[in-house]
Amino acid sequence: MEKKMMSINLEQQKLISHPLRSKIIYLLSEKELTSKQVAESLDKTPGSIHYHIQQLYKMGIIELTEVRENKGINEKYYRSKATHFRLEGEQPTQTEEETEVDKYQTYIDFSEENLKQFKEDYNELLMKYLKLSVNYSHESKDSYHLKLSFLKVEEEEL
């Protein structure tokens, strides 16, 4: 998937900070879908998903790409405008010793087994790059502080 960045305002940030909306944005970044198709993918009611899609559309996070007539019903297809979002005017936080380069966050559903596997994969990835960082080379290298947190959230239906 190609990384597409979009600047957003505080109101848009609040809108996309909902776990279900994050999932909708992800699905719509993969391909164009109708509200019904998104609802089926997420095992949610079409009415609930339609509400969230309308909120994302009104706030400019997703776009209507096509309207197809199917048996007398207009099917509206939507697509996400971006995969990554940055708050307008957000300046990286700085202290004397560190400068924030990139910050990523998302919502993901994990089973206990998937979470365990993710943590193992993350640890392997860290070890790979730690090994590369201590290998002698003439390349210039900068030091970075990495943080990963797992915060369990309760998903609310609006």
Output the tens digit of pLDDT for each of the chain's 158 residues: 677 889 999 999 999 988 889 889 999 999 999 999 999 999 899 999 999 999 999 999 999 999 999 999 999 999 999 988 888 876 555 554 555 556 677 778 889 999 999 999 988 998 888 777 766 666 777 777 777 888 888 765 44
pLDDT of residue 130: 74
With a threshold of 0.85, does the pTM exceed it? no
Q: For residue 54, what pLDDT is reported?
A: 97
Q: What is the pLDDT of residue 46?
A: 94
What pLDDT is recorded for position 91?
57
- Which of 103, 135, 108 shows the shortest CA–CA distance to 121? 108
Give the per-residue pLDDT at 132: 77
pLDDT score recorded for residue 96: 44
Side chain identity at residue 49, one-letter code: I
- pLDDT in the model for residue 76: 97
